[in-house]
Structure 1
């Protein structure tokens, strides 16, 4: 019987880090999955976990607001800051609510 030495967890952390690095380079989940030999859904989970563990600073939200003020679309802002259109919408909505208070 083999003893579990915890190497698998270390390997998974390394794969997660590589998946997120590929994501930041602009690859999508299916492309990353093929490179790392994991499913696209697993890649999506890795990316989500990384975002939760390392949220964007408020500076990024303010950058999104400034870009919007300059006339950029949600899609363009999302591409610049590396987040989805819905996330950009939520950032701007959140900042708008804070400014009303």
Structure 2
């Protein structure tokens, strides 16, 4: 990947962390599940950013799940946090779309 693209990805990731942290702090009392989800996404992003800074732009994946027919790709704890946060946000979005309180 060209250096400019790496720098843009890094800047975007930092912006996401700053925005998510700010939003979560401001809305923690009113929307705790959304705030938790954004914190999880931000912290996962920070974990991957740390890898990118100290590992020449690469993120280390070290977990693989192979259970029966389930075979995942390689991932790490930061990816789990990002995915969990995204799932909470998706659950909230779809629960409200059905007219049910989230």
TM-score (norm 2): 0.29
Q: Over alpha carbons, which structure has the higher Rg? A: 1
TM-score (norm 1): 0.30
Structure with more of its chain in helix, by fraction: 1
